[in-house]
Amino acid sequence: MRNKLRALALSAAFVPLVAAQAEPPKDDVAWNIVAGLTTDVGPRLAGSEAEARARVWASEKLKALGFRNVAVEPFPIRGYVRGVDRARLVAPVPQNLAVTALGYSGTTPDAGIEGELVYFPTLDALKAAPDGSLAGKIAYIDHAMRAAQDGSGYGPYGNARRQGPAIAARKGAIGVVIRSIGTDSHRNPHTGATNWPDDVKPIPAGAVSNPDADLIARTVAGGKPVRIALTLTGKTADNLPSGNVIGELPGSDPSLPPILVGCHLDSWDLGTGAIDDAAGCAIVTAAALKAQEGGKLLRTIRVLWAGSEELGGFGGQAYADKHGEPHALAMESDFGADRVWRVITKFAAGNKALGDRIAVALAPMGIVAGHGEVEGGTDVGFVIARQKLAVVDLNQDGTHYFDLHHTPDDTLDKVDPQALAQNVAAWTAVLKVVTNAAEPIQPVE
């Protein structure tokens, strides 16, 4: 009897762990989009055949949901085609490392390269290294990121990935490895693109997982010479096909400039792109539809599912190049699927009342009005800059976003249906305010 009671107690304790994530309703538009895109298409690396399939999927989905003027708008990109990614410490103790190539990494021979590892605790330490001091060596940048609710660390910490490889190349390095730009302790490396100025020849560049980064730091602290072997056979390729997908919910007054809501369709290839950014496309699309419930809106809502964001925002730039017609306001969802906690707006002085109405609509949800820089996002940033558009940023909780960002863990099970629904509700409330604004929405000087 005692053993039976113990078994029942253990069983009861286990139930909440299994049932912690609520099942979404079968007619939930947002959930069906994020589940369908990650399941029916999967990883969608910019310029790949999978991204092409995603455009077909997105076009069909928007039409099925009732969007009008659905169009695929193609453009070519310089892309990255992944190859074999391997790394290991050779000395003083052989250890395999979990590594991923960075987008636009230089290419090693199939047999890889090997060299002395030169350790830099920060990006600034690498910048201070003498010119030529890394000749024939492989640089390692340790620069650990810390979690923040607003994700603000991604800018400064991410420079180790964006700028570090080019700096190491200029100082003579034959390769570079960085600690992943992420906040998790899983043995998953975080990928992402790096940048090469025109006068710098790309060198092999990869990121190791945070546990492996700790291993390298401990090994270096031991004081013995460290050697590393690196194989990254992926290649940069020109004229790969990409494209945007757009659709509209026409308003009752077609003379008014539309409201643009954006996300990006492409993803990195290690996971299935659930939080980055299938969730964003799900949120903006479902909210646009829900905002229409109860009657037609005054202004048109245009949805932009942008291509090739991850490799440099090519979709947002292509959209701005093609669509010079006036827009009223732009918003984007590209920070995962956790709950919205803050709203920041950028309006002209004459539209202050519109910003106030947004704050009032969101207050019952516990979403606070904040102050600070309004970003808009990469996919809408180009058109915002060119037309000086008004912007609304709905800030999601990013405390755990960079645990998953650009890793194999970016999968559907990480999306909480209840948090996704809260995002849709917040976006719906904002869209109802701005799309029914009869007053002119002025450019922001």
Question: In whole angstroms, how far apart are CA 378 and each of 46, 215, 247, 314?
Answer: 15, 35, 19, 9
**C-alpha torsion sign, points 214, 119, 180, 84:** negative
Read off the pLDDT band of 5 (50, 70, 90).
Answer: very low
Alpha helices in 198-335 (DSSP H): 210-221, 279-291, 314-322
Tell me what the pLDDT averaged over the chain comes to: 94
What is the pTM (predicted TM-score) of this model? 0.93
pLDDT at 146: 93
Bridge partner list, 232 = 85
pLDDT at 11: 40
The CATH number of 83-233, from 3.50.30.30, 1.10.10.10, 3.30.870.10, 3.30.70.1350, is 3.50.30.30
22-79+238-435 with 83-233: one CATH topology?
Answer: no
- Domain locations in the chain as residue ranges: 22-79+238-435, 83-233
Mean pLDDT on 92-109: 98
Read off the pLDDT band of 13 (50, 70, 90).
Answer: very low
C-alpha 244/C-alpha 259 separation (Å) is 17
Q: Nearest Cα to 81, choosing from 234, 196, 268?
A: 234
* pLDDT of 133 over the 60 cut: yes
Bridge partner list, 123 = none
pLDDT at 63: 98
Condensed to tens digits (0 to 9), the pLDDT of residues 111-128 reads 999 999 999 999 999 999
Show Cβ contacts of residue 69 under 8 Å, excluding neighbours closer than 6 positions: 246, 247, 248, 250
Bridge partner list, 176 = 139, 205
pLDDT at 445: 84
Tokens of residue 25, six digits: 């309703």
- Cis check: omega of the bond before 156, within 30 degrees of 0: no
Mean pLDDT on 39-43: 98
The lowest-confidence range among 141-155, 210-224, 313-327 is 141-155
Packed helices 29-36 and 279-291: angle between N→C axes, nearest 10 degrees: 150
Condensed to tens digits (0 to 9), the pLDDT of residues 214-268 reads 999 999 999 999 999 999 999 999 999 999 999 999 999 999 999 999 999 999 9
CATH code reported for the domain at 22-79+238-435: 3.40.630.10
* pLDDT of 19 over the 50 cut: no
pLDDT at 21: 56
Tokens of residue 319, six digits: 């959209």
pLDDT at 143: 85
Q: Nearest Cα to 191, choosing from 83, 95, 291?
A: 83
Mean pLDDT on 321-346: 98
Show Cβ contacts of residue 106 under 8 Å, excluding neighbours closer than 6 positions: 175, 201, 202, 203, 204, 205, 232
Q: How many CA atoms lie within 13 A of 273 on its CB side?
A: 32
